[in-house]
Amino acid sequence: MEEIKRIGRELVAKGAIIDYYRDTMQIPNGNVAKWDLIDHKGAAAVVAVREDGKLIMVKQYRNALERETIEIPAGGLNGRDEPTLEAAVRELREETGYIAENIEFLTSIYTTVAFCNEKIDIYLATGLKKREGQDLDEDEYVDVYAYDLDELVSMIYENKIQDSKTICGIMLYAYKTGK
């Protein structure tokens, strides 16, 4: 494949979570193209499994979809340099009130490779201990539920769970456990 080269980048808008850029690209056939880029600082997510085998899930309103979704606990990094393991531990505690004795890396995903560089590292948390309540940001409202793995896999196949990080995390865990 011939080289594609960026010859310019313009910041179109700076947001709280993302920055939007317009890139000018030189493509191999000699043409110049304008491509959009959404720059994201990254995120971490957690497949949290209780001793009874149930997975801890969160339900929250998502503005982009204009509805509530069921997801694994997750959140953005506080800065590009924050280790994703620290973010995963923090988000599990803040969103669900659980802390984990064991946490291991499962995978990294890029959510929308055509125009966004958001990378989410997904972890598996076990040895969960419930502490007192959630510690949500002032703009968060999150309900916490526990589901059997089989029930969550069915919800994915029934199109009731559509969030990519959640699907990836649950299906990797199902594969890992042989279910």
The proportion of the chain whose per-residue pLDDT surpasses 70, expressed as a percent, equals 94
Q: What is the pLDDT of residues 45-64, one digit of tens each?
A: 999 999 999 999 999 988 89
Helices (H), 26-179: 84-96, 149-157, 164-177
Under 8 Å between Cβ of 57 and 70:
yes
Half-sphere exposure of 61 (CA within 13 A, CB side): 5
Same domain, 55 and 117: yes
28 and 16 assigned to the same domain:
yes
Domain residues for the domain of 121 are 41-177
Other CB atoms within a 10 A radius of the CB of residue 34 amount to 10
Q: Are 47 and 100 within one domain?
A: yes
Q: Which of 3, 101, 132, 138 is catalytic?
A: 138
Examine the domain organization and report whether 21 and 83 are in the same domain.
no
Are 169 and 151 found together in one domain? yes
How far is the C-alpha of 121 from the C-alpha of 47, rounded, in Å? 11
Taking only the tens place, the pLDDT of each residue in 75-114 is 999 988 999 999 999 999 999 999 999 999 999 999 999 9
Q: For this structure, is 118 an active site residue?
A: no
